Amino acid sequence: MTHHPDQSPYEEAWDGYSRAWRELHPGLPHLGDEWTGKAAGAASSLDEYCRLIEARFIAPWITPGDTVLEIGVGGGRTAALLAARCGRLICADVSREMLERTRARQLSPPGGISFVKLDHGGLDAVPDAVADACFCYDTMVHMAPEDIFTYLAALPRILRGRRLCILHHGEILSDLGFRKFLADQSEGHGRRRPGLSFPVMTRAIMQRFLDHLGYEVLRCDTESVPRDCVWVCRAPA
Protein backbone atom coordinates (compact mmCIF):
# COMPACT_ATOMS: atom_id res chain seq x y z
CA MET A 1 0.00 0.00 0.00
CA THR A 2 1.37 3.42 -0.92
CA HIS A 3 1.68 5.80 2.03
CA HIS A 4 0.22 9.28 1.57
CA PRO A 5 1.93 11.79 3.91
CA ASP A 6 -1.28 13.85 4.28
CA GLN A 7 -3.19 10.84 5.66
CA SER A 8 -3.17 9.71 9.28
CA PRO A 9 -2.34 6.03 9.87
CA TYR A 10 -6.00 5.47 10.80
CA GLU A 11 -7.27 7.04 7.60
CA GLU A 12 -4.84 5.11 5.44
CA ALA A 13 -5.64 1.82 7.16
CA TRP A 14 -9.43 2.13 6.93
CA ASP A 15 -9.51 3.51 3.39
CA GLY A 16 -7.43 0.50 2.41
CA TYR A 17 -9.66 -1.91 4.29
CA SER A 18 -12.75 -0.48 2.61
CA ARG A 19 -11.23 -0.91 -0.84
CA ALA A 20 -10.25 -4.52 -0.10
CA TRP A 21 -13.43 -5.45 1.75
CA ARG A 22 -15.54 -6.81 -1.10
CA GLU A 23 -12.82 -9.27 -2.08
CA LEU A 24 -12.38 -10.33 1.55
CA HIS A 25 -16.11 -10.77 2.24
CA PRO A 26 -17.92 -11.29 -1.08
CA GLY A 27 -21.11 -12.66 0.45
CA LEU A 28 -21.92 -9.86 2.89
CA PRO A 29 -24.20 -6.90 2.10
CA HIS A 30 -22.44 -4.27 4.26
CA LEU A 31 -18.95 -3.60 5.54
CA GLY A 32 -18.99 -4.39 9.24
CA ASP A 33 -21.26 -7.42 8.93
CA GLU A 34 -18.13 -9.56 9.31
CA TRP A 35 -17.82 -8.48 12.97
CA THR A 36 -20.40 -10.62 14.73
CA GLY A 37 -19.20 -10.11 18.30
CA LYS A 38 -18.08 -13.72 18.58
CA ALA A 39 -14.39 -12.93 19.02
CA ALA A 40 -15.30 -10.47 21.77
CA GLY A 41 -17.43 -13.06 23.58
CA ALA A 42 -20.57 -10.97 23.10
CA ALA A 43 -22.66 -12.92 20.56
CA SER A 44 -22.67 -15.79 18.10
CA SER A 45 -24.24 -14.02 15.11
CA LEU A 46 -24.53 -10.56 13.59
CA ASP A 47 -28.23 -10.25 14.46
CA GLU A 48 -27.58 -11.23 18.07
CA TYR A 49 -24.74 -8.71 18.34
CA CYS A 50 -26.82 -5.89 16.88
CA ARG A 51 -29.65 -6.69 19.29
CA LEU A 52 -27.19 -6.58 22.20
CA ILE A 53 -25.74 -3.21 21.13
CA GLU A 54 -29.21 -1.75 20.70
CA ALA A 55 -30.62 -3.17 23.95
CA ARG A 56 -27.65 -2.33 26.19
CA PHE A 57 -26.11 0.81 24.71
CA ILE A 58 -28.67 2.60 22.54
CA ALA A 59 -32.28 2.04 23.66
CA PRO A 60 -31.72 2.89 27.37
CA TRP A 61 -29.76 6.06 26.62
CA ILE A 62 -30.65 7.64 23.25
CA THR A 63 -33.96 9.52 22.93
CA PRO A 64 -35.91 10.65 19.84
CA GLY A 65 -34.96 14.27 20.54
CA ASP A 66 -31.22 13.66 20.58
CA THR A 67 -28.74 14.79 18.00
CA VAL A 68 -26.10 12.06 18.09
CA LEU A 69 -22.51 12.33 16.90
CA GLU A 70 -21.16 8.91 15.96
CA ILE A 71 -17.37 8.80 15.83
CA GLY A 72 -16.05 6.07 13.53
CA VAL A 73 -19.19 5.12 11.62
CA GLY A 74 -17.36 2.58 9.45
CA GLY A 75 -19.82 0.78 7.21
CA GLY A 76 -22.83 2.17 9.06
CA ARG A 77 -23.91 -0.82 11.14
CA THR A 78 -24.42 1.09 14.40
CA ALA A 79 -25.45 4.21 12.48
CA ALA A 80 -28.46 2.23 11.24
CA LEU A 81 -29.36 1.33 14.83
CA LEU A 82 -28.94 4.93 15.99
CA ALA A 83 -30.95 6.36 13.08
CA ALA A 84 -33.98 4.39 14.26
CA ARG A 85 -33.74 5.88 17.76
CA CYS A 86 -32.39 9.43 17.58
CA GLY A 87 -33.58 12.71 16.11
CA ARG A 88 -30.59 13.77 14.02
CA LEU A 89 -27.43 11.80 13.27
CA ILE A 90 -23.97 13.18 12.54
CA CYS A 91 -21.67 10.53 11.07
CA ALA A 92 -17.96 11.22 11.53
CA ASP A 93 -14.99 9.18 10.36
CA VAL A 94 -11.34 9.65 9.42
CA SER A 95 -11.96 7.52 6.32
CA ARG A 96 -13.75 9.08 3.38
CA GLU A 97 -14.33 5.58 2.01
CA MET A 98 -16.19 4.61 5.19
CA LEU A 99 -18.33 7.74 5.10
CA GLU A 100 -19.37 6.88 1.55
CA ARG A 101 -20.32 3.36 2.61
CA THR A 102 -22.54 4.72 5.37
CA ARG A 103 -24.01 7.33 3.00
CA ALA A 104 -24.92 4.52 0.58
CA ARG A 105 -27.20 2.98 3.22
CA GLN A 106 -29.50 6.01 2.78
CA LEU A 107 -30.37 6.24 6.45
CA SER A 108 -33.08 8.78 7.27
CA PRO A 109 -33.50 9.73 10.93
CA PRO A 110 -36.36 12.21 11.47
CA GLY A 111 -34.07 15.22 11.92
CA GLY A 112 -31.78 14.33 9.05
CA ILE A 113 -28.27 13.00 8.69
CA SER A 114 -24.93 14.68 7.95
CA PHE A 115 -21.38 13.50 7.37
CA VAL A 116 -18.12 14.90 8.73
CA LYS A 117 -14.66 13.89 7.50
CA LEU A 118 -12.26 13.92 10.43
CA ASP A 119 -8.62 14.87 9.87
CA HIS A 120 -5.54 13.44 11.54
CA GLY A 121 -7.35 11.82 14.43
CA GLY A 122 -8.95 14.97 15.84
CA LEU A 123 -12.41 16.50 16.08
CA ASP A 124 -11.58 19.99 14.78
CA ALA A 125 -13.97 19.52 11.84
CA VAL A 126 -16.98 19.11 14.17
CA PRO A 127 -18.75 22.38 15.18
CA ASP A 128 -19.19 23.53 18.77
CA ALA A 129 -22.20 22.40 20.84
CA VAL A 130 -23.62 20.37 17.95
CA ALA A 131 -24.74 17.14 19.66
CA ASP A 132 -26.54 15.90 22.76
CA ALA A 133 -24.75 12.55 22.73
CA CYS A 134 -21.62 10.92 21.35
CA PHE A 135 -21.62 7.26 20.34
CA CYS A 136 -18.28 5.61 19.66
CA TYR A 137 -18.48 1.83 19.30
CA ASP A 138 -15.96 -0.56 17.70
CA THR A 139 -13.68 2.43 17.06
CA MET A 140 -11.58 3.05 20.16
CA VAL A 141 -10.66 -0.65 20.15
CA HIS A 142 -8.33 0.36 17.29
CA MET A 143 -7.06 3.63 18.81
CA ALA A 144 -3.87 4.18 20.77
CA PRO A 145 -4.49 5.44 24.34
CA GLU A 146 -3.02 8.87 23.61
CA ASP A 147 -5.46 9.29 20.71
CA ILE A 148 -8.39 8.22 22.89
CA PHE A 149 -7.35 10.91 25.38
CA THR A 150 -7.23 13.51 22.59
CA TYR A 151 -10.81 12.66 21.56
CA LEU A 152 -12.04 12.74 25.17
CA ALA A 153 -10.45 16.15 25.69
CA ALA A 154 -12.20 17.50 22.58
CA LEU A 155 -15.71 16.15 23.25
CA PRO A 156 -16.86 18.75 25.85
CA ARG A 157 -16.62 21.50 23.19
CA ILE A 158 -18.87 19.52 20.85
CA LEU A 159 -21.54 18.36 23.28
CA ARG A 160 -24.51 20.21 24.79
CA GLY A 161 -27.52 19.39 26.98
CA ARG A 162 -27.10 15.92 28.51
CA ARG A 163 -23.55 15.65 27.10
CA LEU A 164 -23.95 11.85 27.05
CA CYS A 165 -21.12 9.60 25.83
CA ILE A 166 -21.19 5.88 25.03
CA LEU A 167 -17.57 4.77 24.59
CA HIS A 168 -16.28 1.28 23.77
CA HIS A 169 -12.62 0.26 23.96
CA GLY A 170 -10.49 -2.84 24.33
CA GLU A 171 -9.44 -4.32 27.69
CA ILE A 172 -6.14 -6.13 27.37
CA LEU A 173 -6.37 -7.50 30.92
CA SER A 174 -9.55 -9.48 30.25
CA ASP A 175 -9.05 -13.12 29.32
CA LEU A 176 -10.18 -12.57 25.73
CA GLY A 177 -8.32 -9.27 25.51
CA PHE A 178 -5.02 -10.81 26.54
CA ARG A 179 -5.62 -13.72 24.18
CA LYS A 180 -6.13 -11.17 21.39
CA PHE A 181 -2.92 -9.39 22.40
CA LEU A 182 -0.92 -12.62 22.28
CA ALA A 183 -2.40 -13.54 18.89
CA ASP A 184 -1.51 -10.12 17.50
CA GLN A 185 2.02 -10.38 18.85
CA SER A 186 2.55 -13.79 17.24
CA GLU A 187 1.34 -12.41 13.91
CA GLY A 188 3.52 -9.29 14.16
CA HIS A 189 0.57 -6.92 14.57
CA GLY A 190 2.06 -5.46 17.73
CA ARG A 191 4.64 -3.64 15.60
CA ARG A 192 2.09 -2.09 13.24
CA ARG A 193 1.15 1.55 13.31
CA PRO A 194 -2.27 2.46 14.75
CA GLY A 195 -5.08 1.46 12.43
CA LEU A 196 -6.43 -2.06 12.16
CA SER A 197 -4.53 -3.43 15.17
CA PHE A 198 -5.72 -3.50 18.79
CA PRO A 199 -3.39 -1.25 20.85
CA VAL A 200 -2.81 -1.87 24.54
CA MET A 201 -5.71 -0.30 26.48
CA THR A 202 -7.26 -1.04 29.87
CA ARG A 203 -10.23 -0.05 32.00
CA ALA A 204 -7.87 1.54 34.54
CA ILE A 205 -6.28 3.78 31.90
CA MET A 206 -9.72 4.90 30.69
CA GLN A 207 -10.87 5.55 34.26
CA ARG A 208 -7.82 7.77 34.82
CA PHE A 209 -8.50 9.67 31.59
CA LEU A 210 -12.16 10.25 32.49
CA ASP A 211 -11.35 11.32 36.05
CA HIS A 212 -8.63 13.71 34.92
CA LEU A 213 -10.90 15.34 32.33
CA GLY A 214 -13.88 15.65 34.67
CA TYR A 215 -16.28 13.10 33.15
CA GLU A 216 -19.12 11.72 35.27
CA VAL A 217 -19.28 7.93 34.92
CA LEU A 218 -22.83 6.55 34.83
CA ARG A 219 -21.96 2.97 33.96
CA CYS A 220 -18.91 0.83 33.25
CA ASP A 221 -19.89 -2.42 31.54
CA THR A 222 -17.32 -5.21 31.32
CA GLU A 223 -19.86 -8.04 31.03
CA SER A 224 -21.87 -7.37 27.85
CA VAL A 225 -18.75 -7.54 25.67
CA PRO A 226 -16.40 -9.69 27.81
CA ARG A 227 -13.24 -8.89 25.83
CA ASP A 228 -13.81 -5.13 26.08
CA CYS A 229 -15.20 -2.31 28.18
CA VAL A 230 -18.14 0.03 27.44
CA TRP A 231 -18.63 3.27 29.37
CA VAL A 232 -21.68 5.47 29.66
CA CYS A 233 -20.72 8.88 31.01
CA ARG A 234 -21.34 12.61 30.86
CA ALA A 235 -18.76 15.00 29.50
CA PRO A 236 -18.01 18.07 31.60
CA ALA A 237 -19.74 21.32 30.65
DSSP character for 181?
A: H
110-149 exposure pattern, b = at least 16 Cβ within 10 A, e = fewer? eeebebbebeebebeebeeebbbbbbbbbbbbbbbbebbb
**Cα–Cα dist 192/26, whole Å:** 26
> Which pLDDT tens digit goes with each residue over 182-193?
998 887 655 555
Q: Which of 187, 133, 182 is nearest to 155 (CA)?
A: 133
Is 73 within 8 Å of 92 (Cβ atoms)?
yes
**Cα–Cα dist 226/235, whole Å:** 25
Q: What is the mean pLDDT of residues 127-155?
A: 97
CB-based contacts of 79, cutoff 8 Å, min separation 6: 70, 73, 89, 91, 102, 105, 107
Q: What is the mean pLDDT of residues 164-178?
A: 98
Share of the chain above pLDDT 90, in %: 87
Instruction: Strand 216-221: give its sheet, edge to edge.
Output: 113-117, 88-93, 67-71, 131-136, 159-170, 228-234, 216-221
| 112 pLDDT tier (thresholds 50, 70, 90) | very high
Q: What angle do helix axes 203-213 and 145-158 make, rounded to 10 degrees?
A: 30
| 122 pLDDT tier (thresholds 50, 70, 90) | confident
SS (H, E, C) 37-69: CCCCCCCCCHHHHHHHHHHHHHCCCCCCCCEEE
Is 193 within 8 Å of 11 (Cβ atoms)?
no
pLDDT given at position 6:
62
Whether pLDDT at 167 is above 90: yes
Query: pTM for the full model?
Result: 0.94
**Cα–Cα dist 15/28, whole Å:** 18
Q: Which of 107, 78, 64 is nearest to 168 (CA)?
A: 78
Of the listed ranges 57-71, 90-104, 194-208, the least confidently predicted one is 194-208
Is 222 within 8 Å of 171 (Cβ atoms)?
yes
**Cα–Cα dist 116/20, whole Å:** 23
Give residue 129's identity as a one-letter amino acid code. Answer: A
Q: What angle do helix axes 9-24 and 96-104 make, rounded to 10 degrees?
A: 50
